[in-house]
Amino acid sequence: MATDRQERHAARLLSRDFFNRDPRRVARQLLGKLLVRSDGVDRLVGRIVETEAYLGEDDAAAHAAAGKTARNAVLFGPPGHVYVYLIYGFHFCLNVSCLPEGEPGGVLFRALQPESGIDIMARNRGISGNPFQASKVLTSGPGRLTQAMGITRSRDNGKDFLSPASDLQLMEDGFRVRKIEVTPRIGITKAAEPLWRYTIAGNEFVSRPSGLNSKST
DNA sequence: ATATCGATTATCT
DNA sequence: GATAATCGATATG
């Protein structure tokens, strides 16, 4: 029996309607779902444990706040598509578009729990040694998870997450989230107050515990 | 354990 | 020309 898998249901693609609604609702509902990268013969799978919602003109922290540009066009497009941007000159951040075409909105993926392909993720992250020992540093953070999954702007921006042919998909396998924690979003200066960050409570792979306690091992 | 800092570039003022 | 939805290394308690 596999040590790192529990058979639940066969994973299946999420629906378009899942993303055709308020990003805050999508961000919450995405917890526990799967991000799947099909990379030739390799299949990299991570379970979503941390997300943030970004709205349109009512959200000063959102890329879409000031209107449509070449960079943020995907956020204004149809729901369920890949929005990738480069931040601080170094790191890519992965988002999914929400709401119907014409209405901007998206969800930022902030952390995953590695499920399959951990050795490949470690290689992509340039980490040597036991990948399971290093697993907390593989995909815990928006820049880390894109590197682990091999996600870049040139490769992935604008793709459909929901196409059966896509090499980047969002799926569900029946996993149930017990408790969700809600906090302010991380790393922003404008609109820092709203509680639009969602995490699976107690999950080890969340990028930052949430406020009060951090813990030692 | 927390704090500070430097790296590097696309995008927008 | 300034800024940004970050990370990792270093310093210090």
Q: Is any atom of strand C within 7 angstroms of residue A26's beta carbon?
A: no
CA of A183 to C1' of B10 (A): 29
**Which pLDDT belongs to residue A112?**
98
A204 in helix, strand or coil? Answer: coil
Give the fold, CATH level 3, of A4-82+95-115+158-206. 3-methyladenine DNA Glycosylase; Chain A (3.10.300)
**Residue A104: pLDDT above 60?**
yes
Cα A217 to Cα A209: distance, rounded to the nearest angstrom: 13
Which of A10-24, A65-79, A198-212 bottoms out in mean pLDDT, i.e. has the lowest?
A: A198-212
Give the count of beta carbons closer than 10 Å to the beta carbon of residue A15: 12
- A123 and A95 Cβ atoms separated by less than 8 Å: no
Q: Is any atom of strand C within 7 angstroms of residue A93's beta carbon?
A: yes
Task: Give the closest residue to A81 by CA, choosing from A127, A16, A28.
Answer: A16
CA dihedral A119, A124, A127, A132 (to 10 degrees): -30
For strand C, the positions having any atom within 7 A of a protein Cβ are 4-8
pLDDT tens digits for range A142-199 = 999 999 999 999 999 999 999 999 999 999 999 999 999 999 999 999 999 999 999 9
CA of A91 to C1' of C5 (A): 11
CA of A143 to C1' of C4 (A): 13
Q: Is any atom of strand C within 7 angstroms of residue A179's beta carbon?
A: no
pTM confidence score: 0.93
**Which pLDDT belongs to residue A134?**
83
For strand B, the positions having any atom within 7 A of a protein Cβ are 1-2, 7-13
**Which pLDDT belongs to residue A8?**
62
